């Protein structure tokens, strides 16, 4: 029934919608203009989604106070052009369209003896402000972030890209949610193959609901089983715009503050927007620190376990005695000791995220110290192992974009090193590199900045060169 066209009988239309929703919040109001007593109007809206004052001032009062005549087929044009004050008015004639419009916070105006209606924007959803995202905080640079409103997020982007080449295409996704989303790109810069691939994958999705960007990311990414992300996610408009200016295509989804861009390169996971607002020396050191920390978080526990269990000969004698003395009396094998401590730190980290902010910060810091000290005093773990695991946990948190991959690969490396020693660590390193070089992100090589190697690519990858040199080509 809801897919049928509306009828000319206004009462049947109202009855159909009331039966469709069966919701007390669906409000109906009859309006009769004193100068046109034979012409009946009815408005319908969800009371919790609209601005009632706006409806009264822009729809109801103008119809009641209209002194002219509504003449047959010209009634619609008269309402649109001379009566209604609403900023956005659309014609609708199907029940499924009307149902969607009502749930989006719009008001529907029915006119008796007409088989179409008018839909007006009267939305009054409460929107969170554009605060700085917690996951992308900076000391310098813009601090505004996306919120859950698609229109607000588009306006933040449009203010930064003042060129007619900036294009936005609107679509809907999700059978039940009918979520609005848009694809953004700069026409003369975008990678057209990546753009077409993005559109193809999004249009090919057959899902019941879309509530967040992360859900879409899992459905359209290359190598769904890979721990590395081939879609770049962000919550800051300046980061989003910078990706568009690099020739990428972006997607903004209604109801979530997280946007995404494709294709994504491996090196981009170690870059931040703040890198371009500070000294190139400081930015370069920060990037190197992020890369070095990522490697430490992957291999430090694995290398330590491999050395302590199979390769004591590579350590200086004094260091060997110190480690051996610390391990005396501990009941667990080194690999199990490391696995248990890493698991405890992961539990503490997860608990710190889930509980209220003030409690979480105290729990993460104090809990780690207390548990680590208690484990050493109870001879459940050696002091060296506590230090190794703590350093691994800290370096794993420095780069939020690579957190998931770091956690998964850390355990894999630990398992391999416990069986094959340092040879296993080396084998794991080559296996990960082979996997990285085999990944493509929407048709683009994931390790594009490194293969084939070009000196000019280093200027904005591992290091950040001065801004005047980043976009400089070999012809200049």
**pLDDT, tens digit, 9 for 90 and up, residues 386-422:** 889 888 988 888 888 888 899 999 999 999 999 999 9
Count the neighbouring beta carbons within 10 Å of the beta carbon of residue 116: 14
- Residue 452, preceding bond cis, omega within 30 degrees? yes
pLDDT digits (tens, 9 = 90+) for 69-86: 887 778 888 888 888 888
Average pLDDT of the residues in 363-380: 70
Q: Each residue of 417-465: pLDDT tens digit?
A: 999 999 999 999 999 999 999 999 998 888 887 666 666 667 777 888 7
Listing DSSP states for 165-229 in one string gives: TEEEEEEEE-TTT-EEEEEEEETTTS-HHHHHHHHHHHHT---S----HHHHHHHHSSSTT-SS-
Q: What's the mean pLDDT when you consider all of the chain?
A: 86
204 and 298 housed in the same domain:
no
Q: What is the pLDDT of residue 473?
A: 40
Confidence of residue 96 (pLDDT cuts 50, 70, 90): confident
Domain's final residue, options 256, 276, 296: 276
The dihedral formed by the CA atoms of 60, 66, 70 and 76, expressed in degrees to the nearest 10:
-50
Question: Among all chains, which residue has been given the structure tokens 């049928």?
Answer: 4
One domain for residues 260 and 153 = yes
User: How far apart are the C-alpha atoms of 257 and 255, rounded to whole Å?
Assistant: 7
In angstroms, the CA 179 to CA 115 distance is 27
- 40 in a domain, yes or no? yes
* pLDDT at residue 144 tops 50: yes
pLDDT tens-digit readout, 33-77:
888 888 889 999 998 888 889 999 999 999 998 888 887 778 888
What is the number of domains present in the chain? Answer: 3
Asked, as a colleague might, if the bond just before 242 is cis with ω within 30 of 0, I would say no
Residues 232 and 301 in one domain: no
In a domain, 457, yes or no: no
Co-location of 141 and 165 in the same domain: yes
Tell which of 71, 93, 121 closes a domain: 121
The pLDDT confidence band at residue 368, using thresholds 50, 70 and 90, is: low
**What is the per-residue pLDDT for 434?**
93
Same domain, 260 and 284: no
Range of the domain at 44: 10-121
Q: Confirm whether 458 is domain-assigned.
A: no
175 and 219 co-located in one domain: yes
Give the pLDDT of residue 109. 93
Are 148 and 292 members of one domain?
A: no
The rounded distance, in Å, linking the Cα atoms of 232 and 270 is 12
Cβ within 8 Å of residue 336, ≥6 positions away: none
2 found inside a domain:
no
Closest C-alpha among 410, 442, 402 to residue 272: 402
Mean pLDDT to the nearest integer, 147-167: 90
CB-based contacts of 315: which residues, under 8 Å, 6+ apart? Answer: 307, 323
Query: What is 438-449 written as a DSSP string?
Result: H-EETTEETTTT
**pTM reported for the whole predicted model:** 0.79
User: Do both 351 and 401 map to the same domain?
Assistant: yes
Question: Is residue 140 a part of any domain in this protein?
Answer: yes
Q: Are 333 and 382 in contact (CB under 8 A)?
A: no
Q: Per the domain annotation, does 66 fall within a domain?
A: yes
- Point out the least confidently predicted range of 179-183, 274-278, 436-440: 274-278
Question: Distance of CA 423 to CAs 301, 311, 315, Å?
Answer: 15, 10, 16
Of the residues 121, 152, 175, the one at which a domain ends = 121
Tell me whether residue 472 is in a domain. no
Q: Is a pLDDT exceeding 60 seen at residue 360?
A: no
Residue 370: name the closest of 392, 396, 391, 344 by CA. Answer: 344
Structure-token match 């990706």, residue found: 243
Residue 44: helix, strand or coil by DSSP? Answer: strand
In a domain, 476, yes or no: no
Residues 380 and 290 in one domain: yes
Residues 402 and 305 placed together within one structural domain of the fold: yes
Q: Does residue 272 sit in the same domain as residue 314?
A: no
C-alpha torsion sign, points 371, 377, 380, 383: positive
Asked whether the predicted pLDDT for residue 216 surpasses 60, the reply is yes
* CA distance from start to end of the chain: 66
> What is the pLDDT averaged over residues 317-343?
86
Q: Indicate the SS3 state at residue 370.
A: helix
Fill in the DSSP letter of residue 339: H
Examine the domain organization and report whether 302 and 249 are in the same domain.
no
Least confident of 187-196, 358-367, 450-459: 358-367
């Amino acid at each position: 029934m809801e897919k049928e066209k509306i009828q000319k009988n206004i009462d049947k239309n109202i009855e159909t919608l009331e039966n469709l929703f069966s919701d007390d919040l669906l409000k109906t109001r009859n309006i009769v203009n004193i100068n046109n007593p034979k012409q009946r109007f009815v408005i319908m809206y969800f009371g919790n989604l609209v601005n009632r004052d706006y409806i009264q001032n822009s729809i109801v009062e103008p119809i009641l106070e209209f002194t002219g005549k509504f003449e047959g087929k010209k009634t619609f044009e008269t309402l649109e052009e001379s009566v209604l004050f609403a900023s956005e008015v659309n014609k609708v004639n199907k029940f499924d369209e009307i149902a969607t419009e009502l749930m989006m916070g719009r008001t529907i105006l029915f006119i008796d003896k007409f088989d179409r209606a008018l839909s007006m924007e009267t939305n009054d959803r409460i929107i969170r402000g554009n605060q700085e995202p917690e996951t992308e905080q900076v000391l310098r640079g813009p601090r505004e972030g996306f919120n859950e409103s698609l229109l607000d997020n588009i306006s933040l982007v449009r203010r930064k890209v003042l060129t007619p080449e900036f294009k936005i295409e609107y679509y809907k996704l999700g059978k039940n949610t009918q979520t609005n989303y848009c694809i953004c790109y700069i026409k003369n810069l975008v990678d057209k193959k990546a753009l077409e691939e993005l559109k193809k994958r999004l249009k090919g999705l057959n899902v019941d609901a879309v509530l967040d960007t992360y859900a879409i990311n899992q459905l359209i990414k290359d190598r769904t089983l890979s721990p590395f992300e081939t879609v770049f996610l962000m919550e800051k408009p300046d980061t989003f715009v910078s990706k568009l200016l690099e020739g990428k295509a972006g997607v903004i989804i209604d109801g979530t503050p997280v946007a995404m861009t494709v294709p994504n390169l491996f090196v981009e996971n170690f870059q931040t927007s703040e890198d371009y607002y500070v000294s190139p020396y400081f930015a370069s050191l920060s990037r190197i620190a992020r890369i070095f920390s990522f490697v430490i978080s992957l291999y430090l526990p694995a290398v330590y376990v491999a050395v302590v269990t199979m390769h004591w000969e590579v350590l200086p004698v004094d260091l060997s005695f110190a480690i051996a003395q610390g391990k005396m009396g501990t009941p667990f094998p080194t690999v199990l000791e490391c696995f248990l401590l890493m698991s405890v730190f992961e539990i503490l980290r997860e608990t710190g995220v889930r509980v209220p902010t003030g409690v979480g910060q105290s729990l993460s810091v104090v809990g780690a110290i207390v548990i680590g000290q208690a484990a050493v005093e109870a001879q459940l773990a050696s002091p060296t192992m506590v230090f190794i695991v703590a350093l691994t946990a800290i370096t794993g948190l420095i780069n939020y974009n690579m957190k998931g991959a770091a956690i998964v690969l850390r355990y894999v490396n630990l398992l391999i090193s416990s069986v094959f020693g340092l040879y296993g660590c080396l084998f794991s390193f080559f296996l990960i590199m082979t996997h990285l070089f085999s990944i493509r992100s929407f048709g683009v090589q994931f390790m594009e900045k490194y293969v084939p190697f070009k000196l000019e690519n280093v200027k904005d990858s591992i290091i950040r060169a001065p801004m005047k040199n980043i976009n400089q080509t070999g012809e200049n």
